[in-house]
Amino acid sequence: MSDRETFRAEARAWLEENCPAEMRIPAKGDEDVCWGGRNFVFQSEAQKVWLERCVAKGYTVPDWPKAYGGAGLSPQETKILRQEMAKLGCRSPLNSFGIWMLGPALLKFGTEEQKVHYMGQIARGEIRWCQGYSEPGSGSDLVSMQTFGEDKGDHWVVNGQKIWTSYADKADWIFCLVRTDKTNKYQGISFLLFDMETAGVSTKPIKLISGNSPFCETFFDNVVVPKHQIVGEINRGWDVAKYLLGHEREMISGMGGDGGVTSIGAAMKATLAEESVLRAQMALFDVDNLTFRAHGERFMDEWKTGKAHPAYSNLMKYVGTELNKKRNELVMSIGGSQALEWESERANGGSKARNWLRTKANSIEGGTSEVMLNVVSKRILEMPGG
Amino acid sequence: MAMTLTDDQNMLRDTARDFMASEAPVTHFRKFRDMGCKDGFSHGLWKQFAELGFTGILIPEADGGMGMGQIEAGIVLEEIGRNLSPSPFLTTSVAAVEALKLADKAMRDRWFPGILAGETVIGIAIEEGVKHRPEKIACVATRSGNGFKLTGQKQFVVQGASSDMLIVAARTAGAVGETAGLTLFAVDKDAAGLSMEAARLVDSAVAAHVKLDGVQVDADAVIGEVDGGWAVLSKILDAGRVGAAAEMVGVGTGAMDMTFEYLKTRKQFDRVIGEFQALQHRAAHLYGEMEGARSIVLKAQSLMDEGHAKAELYVAAAKAKAGLACNLSVREGVQMHGGIGMTDEYDIGLYMKRDRSLNEFFGDAYYHADRVATMNGY
């Protein structure tokens, strides 16, 4: 047996033995997902056990080094582990902005001390992070942000406001872009980390068209942040932010399609049999969905071997989010009047309608589709102009 | 399998790229088009293909070929597409070879050497209507003497009139619409009762309308099993479809690169038009579509090479996606070139014509999207 097949057999055996049966059925909704953190309440013993076992094995962050809480797996091994998890239907043990975003930034820009401390906390699911980037006047033009940290020797005093902070009301800590030099647009921003319980931090959920509130406004009123809580150099936070946005785009791009190549058409067979134009739209969607899966696989294989263009995740984000919006439009059309129900049990609390509305943000958050197309055009296609 | 090319595959790509660009660029295509060549391709070029081993790329090593897979055949096809290089590669070295691989030794020995030498051309006679419906074959083969007698008609037999042999799908049992009861035959070009009318297509390729008027063939002309021809036909179709998709990745990418180059040089309103966001966004979207097409074609090829159960689904999706993306590329290409895009002198229009033919070849995007739906259970 090759090393690869040996690893596959081992991973499979470990999952069979350690993943509780309840964690092998799909999560019903957001409340079923384990986000970890100080205030997280486990929904079941199985959810808790699954997290603890994965933490002990390093499988919440399998490709991170062992010293920082991971399992030190190679990209190939990580891919195999994910394939085996998918085959058994294992839920992700831990969802976390720390894993997806802050961790990779720390790995590249953090000090050894920060890596051990913060990445370890993230791997163990102890601290739930949120991201402070956008401001009311700084959306697509993020670099115009104004939240200011005044230098007070051994600390900064931060004042300002962030918006679209995902789950800020549930987060323990924030990684935040703060202006530390008003005279330099790009090289006047620092990447700071601080506790959401620090005096002067407050949050206010924003109710969306979906009726849910996954985002907040976050306010800073004379918030004291010690100088050692910076990632990278002072005034060079934009480098960290740009790197991290790449990861965010990679993550959001994964939302396209349906997490696999299973068609949503099969379950709707009876409806589609009588709706030939809708069936045709569904068929074309399935072509795009299979395409996106193959595209994502190729991108990851190229990315991990350093062959992908550094701006390529922008393209994946654009394609993936537009596809996901299309998918949800089709789900609504196939669902008909039942998909319109907003509260009833038979419509699962309006989950189809709410998901459909939620996906409209996919092509806005983390860089709009229009900004993605600008980046692809300028950086990959090298089109002229400023 | 990782979705990246291996070092050997990259070397093959470099060889194919250099060869097509120097020996069979668009100027080569124009030359043969303008002389009204009856074959629509150069026999000299076909021989050069053979010298590089391309003609036998899918022929097993035991039969003297390179024994490679669909990924490698696709690498050559992409370069053919990029340069509009006219050749019998897709029909003969891909579709026909896949069928002959299932034939007995005597038949392989009869045809493989000529293909390896770049001397033999084989036509694929499947289509009977104007749209691709392989299960609707009505051409009949009845038992007669030591073999069969074939009666019926075939259309869109690319390079049929230039072929040494036609692979003909005919019905030996079952009803029209059924996949069972088909049989594939190797019919010699000189067989009595076989007649062809060559027709030049929009892309200057030449395809034949074929009449089979009681064509007598021996029992040893059967490829595969009598009544079990669908197994052989499926091989032809999958290889032909994924091959046409790979060629369309080449055509679409060639048209796209040419268009992007034009956007970077053409000036209007005192500016290079590539500075305009209206064009930049369309360019970036097109790039995404072509990248998606490239990815799913590679995925389909690798699943075929693995003999994976999902290969058929991915081949259908790949033919559909490559068709849609390539079509977008040539339409955007002509539009973004503006007036000169409409001229015969400029190459972009040639890509538009080639795309149209390749989209139709072995089933268009709508046909294959429909199959994806069926295979997905609705």
Question: How distant is the Cα of A228 from the closest Cα of chain B, in angstroms?
Answer: 41
Cβ–Cβ gap A265/B373 under 8 Å: yes
Contacts of B293 in chain A (CB under 8 A): 291
Question: A residues 244-263 near B, CB within 8 Å?
Answer: 263
Question: How distant is the Cα of B237 from the closest Cα of chain A, in angstroms?
Answer: 18
Q: Does A4 reach chain B within 8 Å, measured CB to CB?
A: no
Calpha distance A323→A339 (Å, rounded): 19
CB B240 within 8 A of CB B90: yes
Contacts of A5 in chain B (CB under 8 A): none
pTM of the model: 0.91
Correct CATH for A129-236 of 2.40.50.140, 1.10.4080.10, 2.40.110.10, 1.40.20.10: 2.40.110.10
Calpha distance B73→B58 (Å, rounded): 7
Residue extent(s) of CATH 2.40.110.10 domains in chain B: 124-229
Contacts of B263 in chain A (CB under 8 A): 383
Contacts of B292 in chain A (CB under 8 A): 288, 291-292, 294-295, 319
One-letter identity of residue A172: D
Question: How distant is the Cα of B282 from the closest Cα of chain A, in angstroms?
Answer: 8
| Nearest neighbour of A383 by CB, restricted to B263, B298, B320 | B263
DSSP state of A92: P
Regions of chain A where pLDDT drops below 70: 1, 249-262, 386
Cβ–Cβ gap B3/A383 under 8 Å: no
pLDDT of residue A106: 96
CB B63 within 8 A of CB B55: no
- The tokens describing B337, both together, are 């070139």
Mean pLDDT, chain B, as a whole number? 97
Rg (CA), chain B: 21
CB B113 within 8 A of CB B127: no
- Mean pLDDT over B56-83 rounds to 98
- Mean pLDDT over B54-74 rounds to 98
- Give the β-pairing of B182-188 and B194-200: unpaired
Domain spans of chain A?
3-95, 129-236, 254-380
Cβ–Cβ gap B320/A287 under 8 Å: yes
Question: How distant is the Cα of B133 from the closest Cα of chain A, in angstroms?
Answer: 18
Give the chain A residue nearest B256 (alpha carbons).
Answer: A381
Contacts of B287 in chain A (CB under 8 A): 315, 376, 380-381
Question: How distant is the Cα of A254 from the closest Cα of chain B, in angstroms?
Answer: 14
pLDDT exceeds cutoff 90 at B296: yes
Rounded alpha-carbon distances, angstroms, from residue B322 to A45, A292, B98: 48, 13, 21
Phi, psi (rounded to 5 degrees) for A35:
-105, -10
> Following CA atoms A300, A304, A306, A307 in sequence, which dihedral angle do they give, to the nearest 10 degrees?
-30
Cβ–Cβ gap A263/B293 under 8 Å: no
pLDDT of residue A322: 96
Task: State the architecture of A254-380 in CATH terms.
Answer: Up-down Bundle (1.20)
CB B198 within 8 A of CB B233: no
Give the chain A residue nearest B281 (alpha carbons).
Answer: A373
CB A321 within 8 A of CB A256: yes
Give the chain B residue nearest A315 (alpha carbons).
Answer: B288
Q: Does A269 reach chain B within 8 Å, measured CB to CB?
A: yes
Cβ–Cβ gap B296/A374 under 8 Å: no
pLDDT digits (tens, 9 = 90+) for B121-179: 999 999 999 999 999 999 999 999 999 999 999 999 999 999 999 999 999 999 999 99
Q: Does A74 reach chain B within 8 Å, measured CB to CB?
A: no
- The tokens describing B192, both together, are 């009595």
Cβ–Cβ gap B281/A280 under 8 Å: no
Q: What is the CATH number of domain B7-120?
A: 1.10.540.10
Mutate to test the interface with A, among B261, B291, B371 (most CBs of A within 10 A): B291
pLDDT of residue A258: 41
One-letter identity of residue B2: A
Residue B189's H or E segment, with its range, is none
Question: How distant is the Cα of B131 from the closest Cα of chain A, in angstroms?
Answer: 18
Secondary structure E strands in B113-269: 122-125, 140-144, 147-158, 165-171, 182-188, 194-200, 206-218, 222-223, 267-268
Question: How distant is the Cα of B128 from the closest Cα of chain A, in angstroms?
Answer: 25
Question: A residues 278-337 near B, CB within 8 Å?
Answer: 279-280, 282-284, 286-288, 290-292, 294-295, 297-299, 301-302, 305, 307, 315, 318-319
pLDDT of residue A198: 97
Give the chain A residue nearest B323 (alpha carbons).
Answer: A287
Question: A residues 351-380 near B, CB within 8 Å?
Answer: 370, 372-374, 376-378, 380
Cβ–Cβ gap B283/A383 under 8 Å: yes
Question: How distant is the Cα of A27 from the closest Cα of chain B, in angstroms?
Answer: 24
- Shortest CA distance to A177 belongs to which of A161, A185, A189, A164? A189
pLDDT of residue A386: 65
Cβ–Cβ gap A301/B283 under 8 Å: no
Phi, psi (rounded to 5 degrees) for A117:
-70, -60
- The tokens describing B181, both together, are 């009861």
- The tokens describing A296, both together, are 């994502």
Calpha distance B349→B337 (Å, rounded): 10
Question: How distant is the Cα of A2 from the closest Cα of chain B, in angstroms?
Answer: 14
pLDDT of residue A26: 82
Calpha distance B42→A306 (Å, rounded): 41
pLDDT of residue B355: 98
Topology adopted by domain A3-95: Butyryl-Coa Dehydrogenase, subunit A; domain 1 (1.10.540)
Correct CATH for B124-229 of 3.40.30.10, 1.20.1540.10, 2.40.110.10, 1.10.10.10: 2.40.110.10
- Shortest CA distance to A106 belongs to which of A129, A126, A81, A125? A129
| Nearest neighbour of A283 by CB, restricted to B2, B260, B373 | B373
Q: Count Cα atoms within 13 angstroms, Cβ side, for B25.
A: 5
Cβ–Cβ gap A287/B275 under 8 Å: no
Q: Count Cα atoms within 13 angstroms, Cβ side, for B172.
A: 20
Give the chain B residue nearest A270 (alpha carbons).
Answer: B378
Angle between helix B26-34 and B348-360 (nearest 10): 80
ipTM field:
0.96
Contacts of B5 in chain A (CB under 8 A): none
pLDDT digits (tens, 9 = 90+) for B68-81: 999 999 999 999 99
Task: State the architecture of B231-375 in CATH terms.
Answer: Up-down Bundle (1.20)
Instruction: Report the residue count for chain B.
Output: 378
